[in-house]
Amino acid sequence: MTTDEILFDAEERMEKAVDVFKEHLRGLRTGRATPALVDNLRVEYYGSPTPLKTLAQINCPDPQSIVIRPFDASCLKDIEKAIRSSNLGMSPNNDGKMIRLTVPAMSGDQRKKMVAEIKKNSEDAKVACRNIRRDANKHFDVAEKGKEMTEDERDAGKEKVQNLLKTFEGKIDEMADKKSKEIME
């Protein structure tokens, strides 16, 4: 593999790790209603677990409530059951046509737990990026041993991978800090 191929592969994989972290952050409760809280909730629909966003329209008429309007009214009970069995901590209010969820304000203790979870998940994302760096460095070592590149090219490539890692770790830290501040408000 050439230096550019190794760097491109590493950057692409680190970008995916950051995207996974970003998706996780979207689903966290901040005391403010957002459709992302229930988007990926799985509903048992005709025997198969189906994401809620494919079964219903989800919107937030105000900062404290989420309204779920299923495309098929027969799945209201299934959606209600999925919400009750999830760890969202919200009780669904079913009126026969749609489900309303009231997002309760978070206590200081809950907020601290959320921030701790964000820290843990950001560290997991950083570890994933570091593993990608390790793999890229291995590729450089193999290429150098196979006489595909010189020692200097290998060292320069490893330096670029390290800089790439610093960039992505910075992005992860920035996203985690932003979400933590949002939760502590």
What per-residue confidence (pLDDT) applies to 85?
Answer: 84
What per-residue confidence (pLDDT) applies to 76?
Answer: 87
List the CATH number of the domain containing 53.
3.30.1360.40
The whole domain housing 20 covers 3-26+107-184
Q: Which of 80, 102, 124 is the last residue of a domain?
A: 102
Question: Cα dist. 62→72, 74, 103 in Å?
Answer: 24, 26, 10
Residue 31, pLDDT > 80, answer: no
Contact call for residues 65 and 33 (beta carbons, < 8 A): yes
Domain total of the chain = 2
What per-residue confidence (pLDDT) applies to 159?
Answer: 94
Mean pLDDT score across all residues of the chain: 88
The pairing of strands 99-102 and 92-94 is: antiparallel
Q: Which of 78, 102, 126 is the last residue of a domain?
A: 102
Claim to verify: residue 116 and residue 174 sit in the same structural domain: yes
Claim to verify: residue 54 and residue 118 sit in the same structural domain: no
Claim to verify: residue 115 and residue 98 sit in the same structural domain: no
Claim to verify: residue 45 and residue 63 sit in the same structural domain: yes
Task: Please give the full DSSP string across 96-156, using - where no structure is assigned.
Answer: SS-EEEE-PPPPHHHHHHHHHHHHHHHHHHHHHHHHHHHHHHHHHHHHHHTTSS-HHHHHH
| Percent of the chain topping pLDDT 90 | 40
Claim to verify: residue 62 and residue 84 sit in the same structural domain: yes
Most confident of 10-19, 25-34, 60-69, 98-107: 10-19
Claim to verify: residue 177 and residue 132 sit in the same structural domain: yes
Amino acid identity of residue 132, one-letter, is I
- For residue 19, tell me if it sits in a domain: yes
- For residue 31, tell me if it sits in a domain: no
What per-residue confidence (pLDDT) applies to 33?
Answer: 77
Residue 29, pLDDT > 70, answer: no
Express each pLDDT in 144-160 by its tens digit. 999 988 999 999 999 99
Report phi then psi at 102, rounded to 5: -100, 125
List the CATH number of the domain containing 131.
1.10.132.20
Claim to verify: residue 18 and residue 48 sit in the same structural domain: no
Angstrom distance (rounded) from CA 100 to CA 148 = 62
Residue 56, pLDDT > 70, answer: yes
Q: What average pLDDT does range 99-125 have in this prediction? A: 87
